[in-house]
Amino acid sequence: MKILVTGGAGFIGSNFIIYMMGRYPDYKIVNLDKLTYAGNLENLKSVEKNKNYKFILGDICDKKIVKYAMRGCDTVVHFAAESHVDRSIKNPEIFVQTNVIGTEILLETALKFKIKRFHHISTDEVFGSLSLKNLQEKFNENTPYSPRSPYSASKAGSDHLVRAYIETYNFPATISNCTNNYGPFQFPEKIIPLFIINALKNKELPIYGTGLAVRDYLYVNDHCKALDLILHKGKIGETYCIGGDEEKNGNQIADTILNLLDKPKDLKKFVTDRKGHDMRYAMDHSKITNKLGWKPTVTFKEGIQKTIDWYKINESWWKKIISKEYEQKNKIKLKKWKR
């Protein structure tokens, strides 16, 4: 199998590449990544010299680069996306450009190249928000879409495009909607790495509003295992919801991290709530469990401890990430593609 992975230098994409190359050493993987602020080739140091791995610097909105990267591949796994809600509120346009237009370009190219399998990675946020009063209610594959931020709206748009290609062109695609991931290589703007790094530095942990907004958390390696099963056993045209069975609010996340690091609770600081903040996400993963035999294996406490240990060992990685010098050095301007 030769797989084109888009956004493979990002958090989940890099974990997926490392996982797949470890499990399937004969597979060839092409990584197409624009290397925006969240893309980091240091994530892939362990595989960069592997003869079956190739990196291509490029934007999924660039048709020529997409054609070059996809040629000879039989499978596409599409991670590339702008993914931070706060950033989408400040600058929605780039989210529409990358998440919608970029996805359409990938689909168009994959259709022309007769790709055997296209897997699209999406989010639980496309389904909107659940109530804190009915904790039995969860999202599933039949939940109507109700995006509430520019980010989730752009991801909903990309999901609908993939589904339209399936229906219109009999296109061999699958979709997965996943809950919040955490683990190694996650960019420090996200809540768990931000809280870990701040706690390690004895800095305040900023919690939105009253800290009651709930998310379902999944250790990233469990997500990679689910994607592996979908690629090899999933049914063409189907959507699979991937959940972690670990619903936590901001207070609980902060308390878990502070307890494991033996830090004082007064490091918690409540800040102005996010605009249009969804109060709860939760995912029913019955379909992928019953059909493909997948279920999460890492508990939240175990996963947080693993993640804390990783950030302790890899202090040089995150210190570079959060430094202004790093940001300045990594403002890569893509040159016009030449054949």
Q: Residue 257 falls within a domain, yes or no? A: no
pLDDT for 324: 52
Residues 153, 154, 158, 159, CA torsion sign: negative
- C-alpha angle 14/16/20, rounded to 5°? 120
Q: Is residue 327 part of a domain?
A: no
Specify the CATH number for the domain of residue 178. 3.40.50.720
pLDDT of residue 321: 85
Number of folded domains that form the chain = 1
SS3 label, residue 9: coil
Q: What counts of helices (H) and strands (E) characterise the chain?
A: 13, 12
> Which two three-digit tokens encode residue 124?
């639980």
CB atoms within 10 A of CB 233: 12
Separation of alpha carbons 293 and 49, rounded Å? 34
192 is a domain residue: no
Known catalytic residues are 124-125, 151
Contact (CB, 8 A) for 80 and 33:
yes
Q: Which among 240, 236, 17, 73 has a CA at the least distance from the CA of 140?
A: 240
Beta partners for residue 240, in sequence order: 176
* Whether 217 contacts 246, CB under 8 Å: yes
Residue 258 lies in a domain: no
Nearest to 226 by CA among 12, 38, 47: 12
| DSSP code string of 165-186 | HHHHH---EEEEEE-EEESTT-
pLDDT of residue 312: 97
Q: Does a structural domain hold residue 253?
A: no
> For residue 287, what are the domain limits?
2-187+216-248+280-299
The reply to whether 304 falls in a domain is no
Q: What is the mean pLDDT of each successive set of 10 residues along the chain, which is 339 residues long?
A: 97 98 98 92 97 98 98 97 79 88 98 98 95 93 94 95 98 98 94 96 95 96 98 98 97 97 96 85 97 98 98 94 59 38
SS3 category, 75: strand
Residue type, 53: Y
Tell me the CB-side half-sphere exposure of residue 176, using CA atoms within 13 A.
Answer: 25
Q: Is residue 127 part of a domain?
A: yes
Assess if residue 105 is contained within a domain: yes
pLDDT for the residue 337 = 37
Contact 237, 206 (CB under 8 A): no
In the prediction, which pLDDT does 89 show?
A: 84
DSSP 105-128: HHHHHHHHTT-SEEEEEEEGGGG-
